[in-house]
């Protein structure tokens, strides 16, 4: 597999780095400083931060000083930021609820920046399917190469599982079970936790985040979208107890409108495979199972992915594989598999894949930046590399785009619609690229 050779981006001769402008990088708090920034630091020949925008310019100036971003400018307005020709790539890592407004403005103002080529936005892209469609359209009209942070696709565990599946090591998949635990949405809420993640419609909840990332990963691993789905969405905990940082209850109850449980079941387009999912909120109380368990059963073997947190895209996982060793030699290029030959033929084999000190929070984002760099510099020497690509789909190479995000938004919208209507929905068309 080519993908497992990894990126050879580090061997790229010194060229002009991709100049990055951030909306949302703050040296002292937030997601970008914990993930995007360390990811970029490790790719300093390929990416250079040249611009920052924040509603308060003092924040950007402080961040530039603190991080010693010698080549970066703090812009006073979104307009000046977006239209500056010093930026090749814009990364947006603010609250999802602000995405639509900021992105639509960015896309408008950026028309006067001839160098603007890459737009990298954090999942969930937008708070609704409608907004996501508008953003997708505007970015497509602008001719941009888009990137969405569905970074679970870059997890080494997910790629190894995808490889085992695609090479036939578990035969035909015949059933899948997923159980995940999204810690935030339970009985207690840390008093310091931002309110918006407990309010419906802000694009960060058990369905969009926990389910969204995980089901995207599942589809990616199995190389299949869904054909039919059914969902039940629960808000069984309409009020939460505030707790302090030591877990003590503060005697105050606050409303919660986001879901705390999702039941989802459906069939994969490929093979009509039954898939059963249960995503729960609440602090992990699952003593006898991990907070994320993905079981993929096939006619010739099984895969199990386990994680300590219910968020597959930011968790260090363990991948278990079991099958028969006759599968060691899958047929390829029309050759007959060497079934039954060899010392261990027909014996049961097992693989446990775990990178003990892998930091998945940074690592998966880092690998996403690597992929962008691979694309930009054509590190992998792909002949006739397109100047832009619409979607990753289920390719090993590349990176997820706004189209991949849009397809996932359609699935999420179907989840809510199925719950509202109490119906099984046919979703076999949602992966079509057309709007």
- Name the minimum Å distance from CB 394 to its own copies: 22
To the nearest whole angstrom, how small is the minimum distance from the Cβ of residue 300 to its own copies? Answer: 8
Report if residue 254 touches its own copies, rule: CB under 8 A: no
The DSSP-derived string for 119-188 is: EEE-TTSSSSHHHHHHHHHHHHHTT-EEEE--GGGG-HHHHHHHHHHHTTTT-SEEEEEEEEEEGGGSSE
Q: Would you say 415 and 207 are in contact if contact means Cβ atoms under 8 Å apart?
A: yes
Quick one: 77 or 423, whose CB is closer to its own copies?
Answer: 423
Q: Is 33 helix (H, G, I), strand (E, B) or coil?
A: coil
Choose between 119 and 427: whose C-beta lies nearer to its own copies.
Answer: 427
Report the C-alpha gap between 178 and 174 in whole angstroms. 14
| Per CB under 8 A, 308 contacts its own copies | no
Instruction: Give how far Cα 306 sits from Cα of 73, 151, 303, 310, 399, Å.
Output: 43, 17, 10, 9, 24
80 in Cβ contact with 112 (< 8 Å): no
By CB under 8 A, residue 297 contacts its own copies? yes
3-state secondary structure of 73: strand
Q: Select the span of 11-19, 81-89, 396-404, 421-429 touching its own copies (CB under 8 A).
A: 421-429
What are the distances in angstroms from CA 108 to CA 49, 102, 283, 313? 22, 10, 42, 31
CB atoms within 10 A of CB 224: 20
If one asks whether residue 265 binds its own copies (CB under 8 A), the answer comes out as yes
Q: Does 290 bind its own copies (CB under 8 A)?
A: no
Candidates 99, 117, 160, 230: give the one binding its own copies (CB under 8 A): 230
CB of 166 to its own copies, least distance (A): 19
Q: With binding defined as CB under 8 A, does residue 183 bind its own copies?
A: no
User: Could you tell me the smallest distance in angstroms from the CB atom of residue 235 to its own copies?
Assistant: 10
Contact between 287 and its own copies by CB under 8 A: the answer reads yes
Rounded Cα distance between 39 and 362, Å, is 6
Q: Does 278 bind its own copies (CB under 8 A)?
A: yes
Q: Check binding of 340 to its own copies (CB under 8 A).
A: no
Cβ within 8 Å of residue 102, ≥6 positions away: 23, 78, 92, 94
Write out 253-309 in H/E/C secondary structure: EEECCCCCEEEEEEEECCCCCEEEEEEEECCCCCCCCCCEEEEEEECCEEEEEEECC
Nearer to its own copies, 299 or 341 (CB): 299
Angle at 102 between CA 101 and CA 108, to 5 degrees: 95
- Is 286 near its own copies (CB under 8 A)? yes
Q: Which of 71, 252, 257, 272 is close enough to bind its own copies by CB under 8 A?
A: 272
Whichever of 182 and 363 has its CB closer to its own copies, that residue is: 182
Measured CA to CA, the distance from residue 419 to residue 221 in angstroms comes to 26
d(Cα 252, Cα 261) in Å, to the nearest integer? 23
Report in angstroms how near the CB of residue 339 gets to its own copies at its nearest.
Answer: 14
350 binds its own copies (CB under 8 A): yes
Residue closer to its own copies, measured from CB, 285 or 336: 285
Ramachandran region, residue 401 (left: φ > 0; alpha: ψ -120 to 50; beta: rest): beta
Is 429 a binder of its own copies (CB under 8 A)?
A: no
Q: What residues contact residue 131 under an 8 Å CB cut-off, 6+ apart?
A: 99, 100, 125
Neighbours of 43 (CB within 10 A): 20
- For tokens 């030699």, what's the residue? 329
The residue range among 79-87, 93-101, 154-162, 259-267 that interacts with its own copies, by the rule CB under 8 A, is 259-267
> Per CB under 8 A, which region of 98-106, 113-121, 215-223, 226-234 contacts its own copies?
226-234
Among residues 17 and 301, whose Cβ is nearest to its own copies? 301
State the Cα angle at 399 between 394 and 401, rounded to 5°.
90
Query: Does residue 330 touch its own copies according to CB under 8 A?
Result: no
Q: Which of 133, 163, 177, 199 binds its own copies (CB under 8 A)?
A: 177
Among 36, 160, 162, 261, binds its own copies (CB under 8 A): 261
Cis preceding linkage at 124, omega within 30: yes
Least spacing, CB of residue 155 vs its own copies, in Å: 19
Interface residue with its own copies among 97, 138, 187, 353 (CB under 8 A) is 187
Least CB distance to its own copies at residue 248 (A): 13
When the beta carbons of 274 and 330 are compared against its own copies, the nearer one is: 274
User: How many residues contact its own copies, by CB under 8 A?
Assistant: 44
CB 119 to its own copies: min, Å: 38
- Which residues contact its own copies by CB under 8 A? 174-175, 177, 179, 187, 228, 230, 232, 234, 236, 261, 263-267, 271-278, 280, 282, 285-289, 295, 297-299, 301-302, 304, 320, 322, 350, 422-424
């Amino acid at each position: 597999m080519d993908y497992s050779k990894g990126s050879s981006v580090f061997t790229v001769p010194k060229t002009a780095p991709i100049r990055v402008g951030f909306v949302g990088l703050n040296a002292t708090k937030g997601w970008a400083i914990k993930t995007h920034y360390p990811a970029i630091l490790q790719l300093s020949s390929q990416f250079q931060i040249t611009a920052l925008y924040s509603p308060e310019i003092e924040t950007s100036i402080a961040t530039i000083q603190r991080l010693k971003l010698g080549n970066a400018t703090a812009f006073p307005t979104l307009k000046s930021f977006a239209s500056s020709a010093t930026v090749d790539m814009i990364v947006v890592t603010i609250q999802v609820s602000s995405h639509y407004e900021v992105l639509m403005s960015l896309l408008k103002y950026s028309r006067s920046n001839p160098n603007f080529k890459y737009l990298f936005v954090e999942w969930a892209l937008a708070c609704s399917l409608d907004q996501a469609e508008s953003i997708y359209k505007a970015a497509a009209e602008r001719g941009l190469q888009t990137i969405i942070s569905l970074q679970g696709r870059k997890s080494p565990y997910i790629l190894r599982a995808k490889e085992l599946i695609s090479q036939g090591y578990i035969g035909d998949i015949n059933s899948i079970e997923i159980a995940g635990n999204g810690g935030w949405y339970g009985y207690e809420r840390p008093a310091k936790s931002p309110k918006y993640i407990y309010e419906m419609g802000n694009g960060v909840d058990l369905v969009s985040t926990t389910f969204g990332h995980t089901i995207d990963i599942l589809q990616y691993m199995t190389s299949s979208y869904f054909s039919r789905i059914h969902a039940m969405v629960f808000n069984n905990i309409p009020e939460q107890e505030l707790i302090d940082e030591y877990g003590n209850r503060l005697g105050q109850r606050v409303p919660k409108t986001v879901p705390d449980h999702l039941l989802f079941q459906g069939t994969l387009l490929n093979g009509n495979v039954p898939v059963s999912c249960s995503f729960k909120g609440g602090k992990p109380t699952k003593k006898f199972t991990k907070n994320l368990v993905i079981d993929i059963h096939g006619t010739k073997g099984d895969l199990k992915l386990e994680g300590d947190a219910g968020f597959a895209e930011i968790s260090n996982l363990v991948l278990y594989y079991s099958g028969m060793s006759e599968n060691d030699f899958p047929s390829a290029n029309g050759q007959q598999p060497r079934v039954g030959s060899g010392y261990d033929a027909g014996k049961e084999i097992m693989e446990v894949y775990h990178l003990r000190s892998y930091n998945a929070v940074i690592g998966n984002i880092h690998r996403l930046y690597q992929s962008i760099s691979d694309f930009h510099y054509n590190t992998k020497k792909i002949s006739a590399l397109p100047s832009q690509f619409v979607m990753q789909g289920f390719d090993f190479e590349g990176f997820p785009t706004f189209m991949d995000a849009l397809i996932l938004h359609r699935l999420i919208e179907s989840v809510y619609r199925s719950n509202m209507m109490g119906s099984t929905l046919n979703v076999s068309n949602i992966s079509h690229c057309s709007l």
